[in-house]
């Protein structure tokens, strides 16, 4: 028998905002949430491999995207948006290349949603136009509660300025949808009262968006606090009145559970954050065997990272989320400073040759710089994304601009809010 969710998805009489030719319908989908650091390319590819219907990239600030250059990396089969910067104008060798965003078309085509951090309609359109031809949708982040986002009027700050948020969505719908044939969506949090939330949602669904995701927490709430689903059915009903798809987010731990909860509360699908960060095989249904052991997933993740030249600091950060802290492998992994060391520590001897090639290619197995050479330009690899921050394991000693100048959260903020950004 079909669930009520499946019946709603199939029902011809249900009102729907038309889905653009290159866009995606969020109905009936369980998707990967947008997460800083945890939403980089290798994590997205693993989520898709294990059954995610769609994947959101990490929030990328409009100012970080504007001014980038698009190129195809034939060796890695990726599409990259990058910029060069000069951190030391007095040095003859001071240019550094930063990759702000990248995709893997062979696996992500038609399934990747670009989430933008913005507080201005014109900048939102300018930034979205750069990437819209390579993604299946543009999503506006109106839920991040951290100061590095809200202080600029972005993220959850937009919930306090609904007219500005609506203006951003309307500008994207007017300019991006007809030019690139993709839909526009928004991700919000619930407000203090159902009446406030309903008033906001009614304004948002009138802008022409095709989808709305609601993180079932208020702005002050943190991931350790249980999601509040009491307003969810009302939000879904308001979305359906306007023909807009509604996804739910907050304490969803598996694909099966996501579909069940969406069915129970009248939503159209679900978004997974924390559980996917720890083990992306949570997208496997019970019929497919369910979640895999962490050892299996960690090996697959490490292989994916090496084949994509993922930034080492990001790779190690995610491994620290995926390997349980009480496991001896966690302690062995902690001091590692190269892929080769990681493979040795984790017992992946069959990957040592590939790990050494990766380290050599990325310049990781270089001798430690002398004091006299510490100011020389460090090597920047091809996965340093705008929202990814910097870890101590990154092999570069070159002075950098302040984080605020680059619209990037500090390491402390990033690690504390990986999942909060999924809101």
From residue 321, how far is each of 145, 181, 274, 293 by CA, in Å?
Answer: 22, 37, 10, 14
Residue 418 has pLDDT above 50, yes or no: no
For the chain, what is the mean pLDDT?
Answer: 87
Q: What is the pLDDT of residues 279-322, one digit of tens each?
A: 999 999 999 999 999 999 999 999 999 999 999 999 999 999 99
- pLDDT, average across residues 365-369: 59
Of 251, 259, 260, 256, residue with least CA distance to 281: 256
Q: What is the pLDDT of residues 50-82, one digit of tens each?
A: 999 999 999 999 999 999 999 999 999 999 999
Only one residue has tokens 């990814």, namely: 388
Start-to-end CA distance of the chain, whole Å, equals: 33
From residue 28, how far is each of 139, 231, 266 by CA, in Å?
Answer: 18, 20, 11
CB 402 within 8 A of CB 377: no
User: Which residues does 238 contact at the CB level (< 8 Å), separation at least 6?
Assistant: 198, 201, 202, 205
Domains, the chain: 4-291 (3.20.20.70), 294-407 (no CATH)
Q: How confident is the model at residue 92 (pLDDT cuts 50, 70, 90)?
A: low
Only one residue has tokens 């290349």, namely: 97
Q: How confident is the model at residue 147 (pLDDT cuts 50, 70, 90)?
A: confident
pLDDT of residue 404: 42
Q: What is the pLDDT of residues 155-186, one digit of tens each?
A: 999 999 999 999 999 999 999 999 999 999 99
Beta bridge partners of 312: none
Q: How confident is the model at residue 403 (pLDDT cuts 50, 70, 90)?
A: very low
Q: What is the pLDDT of residues 1-22, one digit of tens each?
A: 456 655 555 544 568 999 999 9
pLDDT of residue 90: 57
pLDDT of residue 366: 60
Which of 144, 166, 246, 282 is catalytic? The answer is 144
CB 407 within 8 A of CB 386: yes
Residue 394 has pLDDT above 80, yes or no: no
User: Which residues does 309 contact at the CB level (< 8 Å), separation at least 6?
Assistant: 76, 358, 361, 362, 381, 382, 383
Residue 415 has pLDDT above 60, yes or no: no
CB 144 within 8 A of CB 221: no
pLDDT of residue 391: 34
Helix (H, G, I), strand (E, B) or coil at 20: coil
Residue 364 has pLDDT above 60, yes or no: yes
User: Which residues does 62 contact at the CB level (< 8 Å), separation at least 6?
Assistant: 116, 117, 118, 120, 123, 124, 126, 127, 128
The question of whether 216 is a catalytic residue gets the answer: no
DSSP of 204-240: HHTTT-SEEEEESS-TT--TTSPP--TTHHHHHHHHH
pLDDT of residue 150: 86
Q: What is the pLDDT of residues 184-223, one digit of tens each?
A: 999 999 999 999 999 999 999 999 999 999 999 999 998 8
Of 130, 13, 60, 119, residue with least CA distance to 386: 60
């Amino acid at each position: 028998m079909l669930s009520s969710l499946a019946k709603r998805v199939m029902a011809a009489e249900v009102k729907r905002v038309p889905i653009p030719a290159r866009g995606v319908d969020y109905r009936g989908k369980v998707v990967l949430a947008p997460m800083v650091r945890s939403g980089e390319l290798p994590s997205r590819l693993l989520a898709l491999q294990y059954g995610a219907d769609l994947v959101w990239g990490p929030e990328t600030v409009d100012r970080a995207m504007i001014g980038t250059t698009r190129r195809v990396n034939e060796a890695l089969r990726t599409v990259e948006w990058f910029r060069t910067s000069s951190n030391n104008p007095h040095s003859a060798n001071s240019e550094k290349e930063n990759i702000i965003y990248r995709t893997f078309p062979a696996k992500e085509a038609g399934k990747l949603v670009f989430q933008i951090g913005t507080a201005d309609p014109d900048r939102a359109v300018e930034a979205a136009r750069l990437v819209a031809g390579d993604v299946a949708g543009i999503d506006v982040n109106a839920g991040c509660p951290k100061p590095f986002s809200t202080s600029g009027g972005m993220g959850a700050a937009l919930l306090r300025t609904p007219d500005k948020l609506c203006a951003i969505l309307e500008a994207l719908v007017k300019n991006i949808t007809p030019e690139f044939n993709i839909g526009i969506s928004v991700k919000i949090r619930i407000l203090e009262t159902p009446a406030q939330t309903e008033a906001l949602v009614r304004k948002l669904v009138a802008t022409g968006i095709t989808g709305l995701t609601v993180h079932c927490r208020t702005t002050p709430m943190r991931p350790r606090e249980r999601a509040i689903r009491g307003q969810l059915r009302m939000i879904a009903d308001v979305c359906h009145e306007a023909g807009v798809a509604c996804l739910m987010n907050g304490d969803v731990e598996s694909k099966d559970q996501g579909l069940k909860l969406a069915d129970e509360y009248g939503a159209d699908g679900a978004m997974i954050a924390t559980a996917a960060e720890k083990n992306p095989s949570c997208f496997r249904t019970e019929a497919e065997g369910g979640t895999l052991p962490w050892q299996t997933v960690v090996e697959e993740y490490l292989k994916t990272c090496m084949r994509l030249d993922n930034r080492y600091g990001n790779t190690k950060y995610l491994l620290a989320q995926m390997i349980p802290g009480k496991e001896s492998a966690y302690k062995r992994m902690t001091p590692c400073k190269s892929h080769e060391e990681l493979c040795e520590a984790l017992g992946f001897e069959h990957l040592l040759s590939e790990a050494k090639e990766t380290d050599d290619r990325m310049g990781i197995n270089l001798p430690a710089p002398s004091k006299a050479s510490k100011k020389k330009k460090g090597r920047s690899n091809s996965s340093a994304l705008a929202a990814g921050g910097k870890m101590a394991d990154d092999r570069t000693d070159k002075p950098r601009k302040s984080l605020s100048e680059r619209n990037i959260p500090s390491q402390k903020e990033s690690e504390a809010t990986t999942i909060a950004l999924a809101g």
